[in-house]
Amino acid sequence: MAVLASFLLGSFYGSFLNVLIWRLPREESIVSPGSRCPLCLNPLAFYDNVPILSWLWLRGRCRSCGGAISIRYPLVEAATALLFAALWGRWPHSPLWMGAACAAAGLFLAVAFIDAAHRIIPDELSLALLLLGFLVSPFNPILRPPFAPWHRGLLWSLWGALFGFLVGWGVAAVGERIFKKEAMGGGDVKLLAAIGAWGGALGAFDALFVGSFWGALYGVWLIRRRMIGRRGAIPFGPFLSAGAIFNFFYLIPWGFPAYDGRRLPSQNPNRRARPWREGLRCARPGRRPCPRSSAD
């Protein structure tokens, strides 16, 4: 029942995300007017605004004007519903963190659709994600291991945001110097900082690595299909957002200095405690709570 409830809640949240995806790039209010047809602008009745089902019942048409409604609407609602259900399964014993992760994952999804369609990442979303990451960091099991002081999560959230921003800015500067064109936009840099606020330095690194990998594959596919030239540009926000959402389920220990996969510092009283290692180990499903570190 909990999974079903999270699925239904996610579908309604996805309906709100569709409002953000449509209105933020057009600099329209997300509060008023209410839901309406994007073609004829007639208000939608409540029974025409049921997530997923209304689009299927109306066969993707507006009841008033008969115009075609984009399939993006049910796709966003279904994707958000599945994300909510999956995150509930991933963090069933951390309802506060699970709720925050669901909200953030939805916003990352909105960023992906907006950037794919308009090549922009609204500051309203990236800055909201950044601040929300700071606010929930004391409850973030990725950054704060059990029994650790509450401020440890906040410190590593701040460090992750700074790391993400600096790495993004460095990649943008070096890429522009090498390729003589913009390699990473300012919106991508701010988005990477927001990812670091949620997943720490390792989360920002993973998102950049995973996003670059899948972005490169997608670019090669577009070039082979002759849809873009070899020097063509593709939006990077969707791939960074995919990496950020993946972080909520698992952080990949690539051997980055923030994590080396060895034993916990609490198992060696002579080693200085490193909270990111403890957090990654303790956050995995099926793990018993980690003992209090000697540094605490």
Q: Tell me which amino acid residue 177 is.
A: R
Cis peptide before 33 (omega within 30 of 0): yes
Same domain, 196 and 290: yes
Same domain, 16 and 103: no
Same domain, 95 and 78: no
- Quick one: three-class SS letters along 79-128? HHHHHHHHHHHHCCCCHHHHHHHHHHHHHHHHHHHHHHHHCCCCHHHHHH
Mean residue pLDDT across the chain: 84
**Which of 62, 82, 102 is a domain's end point?**
82
**Which of 56, 82, 108 is a domain's end point?**
82
Task: Report the pLDDT value the prediction gives residue 226, as an integer from 0 to 100.
Answer: 79
- Strongest mean pLDDT among 146-150, 169-173, 223-227: 169-173
Q: Tokens 């990725």 identify what position? A: 142
Same domain, 121 and 67: no
Distance linking the first and last C-alpha atoms of the chain: 39
Q: Tell me which amino acid residue 296 is.
A: D
Same domain, 127 and 267: yes
Same domain, 74 and 159: no
Name the residue range of residue 39's domain: 1-82
Average pLDDT over residues 258-270: 38
**8 Å CB contact between 276 and 202:** yes
Same domain, 155 and 75: no
Same domain, 25 and 163: no
- What is the number of other CB atoms lying within 10 angstroms of the CB of residue 180? 9
Task: Report the pLDDT value the prediction gives residue 269, as an integer from 0 to 100.
Answer: 39
User: pLDDT digit string (tens) for 10-59?
Assistant: 999 999 999 999 999 999 999 888 888 888 888 888 888 899 999 999 98
Domain count, the chain: 2
Say what angle helices 237-247 and 95-118 make with each other, to 10 degrees. 170
Provide DSSP, 41-56: -PBPPGGG-STTHHHH
User: pLDDT digit string (tens) for 77-96?
Assistant: 999 999 999 999 999 888 89
**8 Å CB contact between 164 and 174:** no
User: pLDDT digit string (tens) for 166-196?
Assistant: 999 998 888 778 877 777 888 999 999 999 9
Tell me which of 7-16, 217-226, 239-248 is least confident.
217-226
Q: Tokens 């309203």 identify what position? A: 124
- Rounded CA-CA distance 161/150 in Å is 18
Average pLDDT over residues 265-279: 43
The DSSP call for residue 75 is: H
